[in-house]
Amino acid sequence: MTFQKINTSLVLIIFFAVQYTASTQNNTNIHFVIEETSFDRLCQSKKILTINGRFPGPTIYARAGETLALDIENKGKDNVTMFCCRGTGSRHVKFDQVEWLVEAGSKVRKNITISDDDEGTLWWHALDIWQRATVHGAFIVHPKPGTNQALPFSMPHDHVDIPIILGEWWKKDVKEIFLEYVDSGGDINSDAFTINGQPGDFYPCSNNGTFRIEVDIGKKYLLRVVNAAMSKTLYFGIARHNLTVIAMDGSPITEPFTTDYIELTIQHSIDCIFEANQQPNYYYMVDVMNISEVYDTNKITTAIIEYQGSYIPSLPPLLPLLPNFSPNYDKSSSRDYLYVIMTFVILGLFFCTTCAVWYRQTNRAHRSAMVTPM
Ligand SMILES: *[C@@H]1O[C@H](CO)[C@@H](O)[C@H](O)[C@H]1NC(C)=O
Ligand SMILES: *[C@@H]1O[C@H](CO)[C@@H](O)[C@H](O)[C@H]1NC(C)=O
Ligand SMILES: *[C@@H]1O[C@H](CO)[C@@H](O)[C@H](O)[C@H]1NC(C)=O
Ligand SMILES: *[C@@H]1O[C@H](CO)[C@@H](O)[C@H](O)[C@H]1NC(C)=O
Ligand SMILES: *[C@@H]1O[C@H](CO)[C@@H](O)[C@H](O)[C@H]1NC(C)=O
Ligand SMILES: *[C@@H]1O[C@H](CO)[C@@H](O)[C@H](O)[C@H]1NC(C)=O
Q: Could you tell me if the CB of 242 is within 6 A of ligand 5?
A: yes
Among 103-107, 252-256, 321-325, top mean pLDDT goes to 103-107
The pLDDT mean for the chain works out to 77
What's the confidence (pLDDT) of residue 31? 95
Residue whose CA lies nearest to ligand 5 atom number 5: 258
Angle at 33 between CA 20 and CA 211, to 5 degrees: 70
Confidence category of residue 316, pLDDT binned at 50, 70, 90: very low
Task: Choose between 118 and 226: higher pLDDT.
Answer: 226
Q: Could you tell me if the CB of 67 is within 6 A of ligand 1?
A: yes
Going by C-alpha positions, the residue among 240, 316, 325 that lies closest to residue 280 is 240
What's the confidence (pLDDT) of residue 84? 87
129: Cβ contacts below 8 Å, ≥ 6 apart: 178, 181, 182, 230
Mutate to test the pocket of ligand 2, among 78, 79, 106, 175 (most ligand atoms within 8 A of CB): 79
CA dist., res. 196 & res. 361, Å (int): 58
- Among 8-17, 91-100, 338-347, which is the least confidently predicted range? 8-17
Pick the ligand that lies closest to the CA of residue 242.
Answer: 5
pLDDT tens per residue, range 85-96: 765 555 566 656
Q: Mean pLDDT over residues 61-83, rounded? A: 92
Torsion of CA 253, 257, 258, 264, to 10 degrees: -50
What's the confidence (pLDDT) of residue 124? 94
Ligand 6 neighbours by CB, cut-off 6 Å: 290, 292-293
Residue whose CA lies nearest to ligand 4 atom number 6: 208
Please give the distance, rounded to the nearest whole angstrom, from the Cα atom of residue 206 to the centre of ligand 6: 25
11: Cβ contacts below 8 Å, ≥ 6 apart: 158, 159, 160
| pLDDT score of 177 more than 80 | yes
Q: Mean pLDDT over residues 296-324, rounded? A: 71
Task: Choose between 346 and 280: higher pLDDT.
Answer: 280
| pLDDT score of 157 more than 80 | no
What's the confidence (pLDDT) of residue 94? 63
**Ligand 2 atom with the shortest distance to the CA of 77:** 13
> Which DSSP letter does residue 309 get?
S
Q: pTM score, two decimals? A: 0.77
Q: Could you tell me if the CB of 111 is within 6 A of ligand 3?
A: yes
Going by C-alpha positions, the residue among 263, 259, 193, 271 that lies closest to residue 228 is 193
Q: Mean pLDDT over residues 233-251, rounded? A: 90
What's the confidence (pLDDT) of residue 212? 93
Among 197-211, 251-265, 291-305, 351-365, top mean pLDDT goes to 197-211
Q: Could you tell me if the CB of 278 is within 6 A of ligand 2?
A: no
Confidence category of residue 191, pLDDT binned at 50, 70, 90: very high
Q: Mean pLDDT over residues 24-47, rounded? A: 86
Q: Mean pLDDT over residues 310-336, rounded? A: 50
Residue whose CA lies nearest to ligand 2 atom number 10: 79
| pLDDT score of 293 more than 70 | yes
pLDDT tens per residue, range 5-15: 333 223 333 33
Beta-ladder partners of 83: 99, 125
Residue whose CA lies nearest to ligand 3 atom number 7: 111
| pLDDT score of 362 more than 70 | no
Beta-ladder partners of 32: 72
Q: Could you tell me if the CB of 113 is within 6 A of ligand 1?
A: no
pLDDT tens per residue, range 123-135: 999 999 899 999 9
Q: Please provide the CATH number assigned to the domain covering 8-307.
A: 2.60.40.420
